[in-house]
Amino acid sequence: MAKKLYVGGIPYTSTDADLRDAFAQCGEVVSATIIMDRMTGRSKGFGFVEMADDDGAAKAIDLWNGKDFQGRKLTVNEARPMQPRDNNRRGGNGGGGDWQ
């Protein structure tokens, strides 16, 4: 079963392909994605790599966590499930309150 890894500390100039190639040393990579900022289109400096199996994921954590990747130290661990977002954001037009 595939296992998703969180990868932090990715250099802003790195590409998805760079990430995929680096993690392929540890086993089959199902996907490698660097998260991009919607407003600027630039990397946020973190991403996710999905390894094909638990063994490859464990090897990737051992090989890359705390190690240098293109000049920056990576943080690699098992990704946590996404938490539900609070969609009750206030802002824009009012926001409640007694205005007199």
Give the global pTM: 0.80
Give me the mean pLDDT over the 39-56 stretch: 96
List pLDDT tens digits, range 23-46: 999 999 999 999 999 999 999 999
Among 15, 27, 26, which residue's Cα sits nearest to residue 67?
A: 26
- Angle at Cα 78 formed by Cα 73 and Cα 81, nearest 5°? 125
Question: How far is Cα 10 from Cα 70, in angstroms, rounded to an integer?
Answer: 8
